[in-house]
A and B are shown apart, each in its own frame.
Chain A
Amino acid sequence: MQGPLIDTLARQGVTRRTFLKYCATLASMMALPPAAGRAMAEAMAAVRRPSVIWLPFQECTGCTESITRSHSPTIEGMIFDMISLDYQETLMAAAGHQAEEARQNAMKANAGKYLLIVDGSIPLGQNGAYSCIGGRSNVDILKEAAGGAAAVIAVGTCASYGGIPKANPNPTGAVPVSDIVKDKPIVNIPGCPPIPVVMTGVLAHYLTFGSLPELDDKGRPKSFFGETIHDRCYRRPFYDQGKFAKTFDDEGARRGWCLFELGCKGPVTHNACATVKWNGGTSWPVESGHGCLGCSEPDFWDGGGFYKALSAPADPLKFAAAASVVGAAVGVGVSFANRAKKNKAKATHETITVADLEK
């Protein structure tokens, strides 16, 4: 491995073997053959660092937090050594006119070659006045920056599909990047927040092969979003046996049974949580006892309630493929049961939970 990256890493105490090990794991997570790990390590060490401009729009900075505050700062921090991050409001030292100037300079110097990362949705209401930077609307800045970009990476569900700002009644007229940028390749990395390693993986793929990874019909990298949470969920054997927790504190919950009836959206959600996990591989939502919210799918916020069991398949084709006939039948049964319980509760004035109200 030659080139400046390996030297930069060495100065930070990251050894060659650490880097090789990291690349081997990354290749594995991206479902690339084992030999690709070595190829990645060599290519990334030698490559000229591409310029990256990162624009935050209508967002909560959760995506930036997810990516920059992961548990192994040296390793995930490497992505910032692989790229030349020329504009990122949260991380850059410059502010005000200097920051805007840095962006203009980077855009000019690397015209047609820089990667554009966007987090947050773009409000179109009131001519975009709901979110402005330096007196210019988000939509204006996005159009300009996308014009000179080689590709756009939409980080998080807001940039990918509109996310929470776009949730009903969408007061700001929020739209995703793909509604505005029509003539550049776009990769969506949804998730609220997205999994850090997915972003590293997309960048590594770009640096190694000079292209973007293969995408699914919703613009997501297939290697991370090819399967549903339910496909790889460790509670799946219980689902298949029809063993469901009915409340968060019943016997079934204690025994780790399936959370389907408690509203788990795993069967219709494509993401890598079940395999990659969160917090440095410590755990993930279903393992901590809570159903999947479906955060990496379009309009997850308007899915009808986080604690409401999936009754009608949200995505019929996918659902039919993922869930067994028994599973689907259970879903229909649940929605009837929910309604019956609510009516009964109303009639007898017994205490009902928030979860009951959503059913």
Chain B
Amino acid sequence: MSLDAIPIQVVHTTPPGEPGLTGNAPPLLRELLEQVERLLETGVPSAIDLSALPLTPADMDWLRNALGPGEIDVTLDANGESTLSETGCPGVWWITHRNEQGAVTSQFLEVTFVPELVKAHPQDVAMGRETLERLLADL
């Protein structure tokens, strides 16, 4: 028996007639503005935890559209894929962490020049140096 024979259809959970917008997304723009100003004035980065807020998928889409696409997308392959994408507002990054099954585990908006995760840690760079030295020694 094919699975199609089982009469279960996936129904989207947003009831018909409702766009699913809660109005919780627009105030985030104001918070982002404050964070961007802080970054420009003091250089201090900040972040908003999107998974901790009562945002529906429609709210998320609205926010993503409002911020628009940016120029840089970074993909991190670490126990599942993470994407770090600069939005249309430079300095505002949309960060999505996924697990190995591809499910989203957490989402953040980070206001920073470069997200911390992108930078190489000095200790890791030191390990890279050792690798290079070994390569040279083997030449």
Contact = CB atoms under 8 A, between A and B. Distances in A.
Chain A bound to chain B: yes
B97 A33 contact: no
Contacts of B14: 237
A61 interface: no
7 contacts: A18-B78, A20-B116, A21-B79, A28-B51, A75-B79, A234-B13, A281-B105
Interface in B115-136: 116-117, 121, 123-124
Interface in A1-59: 1-2, 14-18, 20-22, 24-25, 28-29, 31, 33-35, 38
B15 A238 contact: yes
A89 B101 CA distance: 31
A324 interface: no
Interface stretch (B4-12, B23-31, B65-73, B85-93): B4-12
Contacts of B61: none
A235 interface: yes
Given A72-B79, A237-B13, A237-B15, A21 B117 contact: yes
A31 B51 CA distance: 9
B76 interface: yes
A262 to B, nearest CB: 16
A162 to B, nearest CB: 33
A280 B103 CA distance: 8
A28 B49 contact: yes
- Interface size band for B: 35 or more
Interface of B: 7-11, 13-15, 18, 46-49, 51-52, 76, 78-80, 82, 97, 99-101, 103-106, 108, 110, 116-117, 121, 123-124
B101 A281 contact: yes
Given A38-B116, A71-B101, A280-B99, A256 B78 contact: no
Nearest to B103: A281
A238 B15 CA distance: 8
Contacts of B82: 21
Contacts of A21: 76, 78-79, 82, 97, 117
A34 B123 contact: no
Nearest to B95: A24
